[in-house]
Amino acid sequence: MHQTKYIFVTGGVLSGIGKGITASSIGAILKAAGYKVFMQKLERYLNIDAGTMNPFRHGEVFVLDDGTETDLDLGHYERFIDESLNRYSFVTSGMIYYDVIQRERKGDYLGRDIQVIPHITDMVKEKIREGAAQSKCDVMIIEVGGTVGDMEGTHFLEAARQMRREEGAQNVMFVHVSYLPYMEVTGELKTKPTQQSVMLLRSVGIQPDIIVARTEGRIEREHIEKIAMYCDVLPEAVIPAPNVKTIYEVPINFEKAHIGEIISKHFDWKNKKPDLKPWKKLVQLINTEKPPLDIALAGKYTSLEDAYLSVTRAIKTACYYLHRRPVLHWIDTEKIEEGDKEEWKRLKQCQAIVVPGGFGKRGVEGKIQVARYAREQKIPYLGLCLGAQIMTIEFARNVLKIKDATSEEFDPSAKNLIVHFMPDQHEGRSKGGTLRLGAQECRISKDSHAYRAYKKTVVWERHRHRYEFNNAYKSLLEKAGMLFSGTSPSRELMEIVEIKQHPFMLGTQFHPEFTARSHRPHPLFKAVLEAAIEREKMPTKK
């Protein structure tokens, strides 16, 4: 029988020390060694999914092919292991409790009282094993959300402990990511918090096999020995993880520390050398000197990398592969709306503009002004979802002179709803899980920017929106110079819109950023940046 191997990744001392990147890097190494890898996040909160959460507080909502709304770690996983994940990759406490309570209502537990142990923990194990079974993976990496010692994570840790007993110690591994603070005054790196977080892990019956030691700077042999001694792991199983210039160095550094070999030994695998050439190439591309490319990101949450994580990653990787250094400029569209001179000046310094997705009215008028500027000045523009709707509204207002053109989302009582709610498309107006979600087929017409970028007539891209282009305006817009170059197979839904007389002004109803991978930049992100580079060659017009 096929025996899946399981690697649990826990975190200690602090949150935000790179547990997601650690899990993803281990995944990248094992995939590069030829194993089939599946990844899963165990999330502590009681929401069923991340769909209703504010990106400002929690980071972006990352959407999978099957429409599951997850958190940004799943983006790291997909970009690092270059596999599309599915709903089995994302498990929340809310989902666990919901499923248990539903079973209780059905009468599946008749005669029994329902308890955290064993019912909730059994459900956690069931979700882990389901993930393994449906993916038929060799190895499954499970990231346990939060930090050890958090009350909200206890059922996950208990389930993980039981997994080791039930699957056999040789089939389950625990990787603990911990932080070593550096005391400036004494010039010392401190291992005590790590020792204490391992004590916390042990108190729930888990002994780590590997400790990933996160530090700001170097870690010396003596610290490694100390951690090994007091946390009871082999010195070679303490993996140094100093800060790096780019996260793409992490798989390379882990492999230098022979993490693959340690895992192979534990699982009784033949040690296969991972092929990390693509990672080395990317790191080299990032580290070589190259001319800058100024790119505006005109959104609502400025300077908040996490709220637009996939967008910034997609821009940056595309830029690296074009041998340019991405310089992102966060443009606050509320300031643009107010006519803030500084903000306009910053926008005007940019060579390409990306208007990302968003919900609600805030900053929308500023975004429309940004789109107008891009259209009139022929600045390469990529609109993602809301950014595509904005581009169409701007065109309707300023080219077709439909002054009150807007979206139903911003003003439901307006007469000219260029973007509207299509009732057939949705199950209802309740907020959770009712958006148009996940990968859908899009047909692309030849002789378009979209086709020249994708070089394909059929693509599948991920969606997350409530409103659609209003087909009643389609022919009017097309006559005036817009092109709906991508549609659903039935032609009912407009998926890609572009402006014919423009070097590159294109908007997508979907989110291409979700399918941009570390070693395969997305064609549309590449295309908008290529257009910007092309434009540099033109004599400057005044």
Sites of contact with ligand GLN (CB under 6 A)? 357-359, 385-386, 409, 464-467
Q: How far apart are CB 528 and ligand GLN at their closest, in Å?
A: 17
Q: Which is nearer to ligand GLN, 11 or 387 (CB)?
A: 387
Neighbours of 179 (CB within 10 A): 23
CB 179 within 8 A of CB 214: yes
Proportion of the chain in helix, strand, coil states, percent, rounded to 5? 45, 20, 35
- Residue 511 CB, nearest distance to ligand GLN (Å)? 7
Residues in the chain: 542
Nearest-CA neighbor of 486 among 449, 516, 522? 449
Contact 173, 209 (CB under 8 A): yes
Identity of the residue, 212 or 393, whose beta carbon is nearer to ligand GLN in the bound complex: 393
Q: What does the DSSP 8-state code read for residue 351?
A: S
Q: State the minimum distance, in angstroms, from the CB of residue 190 to ligand GLN.
A: 44
Q: Is 461 a catalytic residue?
A: no
CB of 359 to ligand GLN, least distance (A): 4
Nearest to 330 by CA among 358, 360, 294, 359: 294
385 is catalytic: yes
3-state secondary structure of 492: coil
Residue with Cβ nearer ligand GLN (498 or 513): 513
Exposure b/e, 312-343, CB count within 10 A at least 16 = b: bbbbbbbbbbbebebebbbbbbbbbbeeeeeb
Tell the smallest beta-carbon distance from residue 467 to ligand GLN (Å). 3
Burial environment of residue 345 by CB neighbours within 10 A (0 to 12, 13 to 18, 19 or more) = exposed
Q: Are 176 and 12 in contact (CB under 8 A)?
A: yes
The nearest distance, CB 436 to ligand GLN, in angstroms, is: 8
Coil vs helix vs strand at 417:
strand
Gap between the Cα atoms of 51 and 433, Å rounded:
7
Indicate the residue among 87 and 465 with the shorter CB distance to ligand GLN: 465
Tell me which DSSP letter residue 171 carries.
Answer: G
Sign of the alpha-carbon dihedral angle for 240, 241, 246, 252: positive
List the catalytic residue out of 155, 266, 511, 522: 511
- Cβ proximity to ligand GLN: between 219 and 384 the closer is 384
**Which of 6/514 has CB closer to ligand GLN?**
514
Catalytic choice (394, 495, 513, 530): 513
Active-site residue identified among 385, 461, 502, 522: 385
Catalytic residue positions? 385, 511, 513
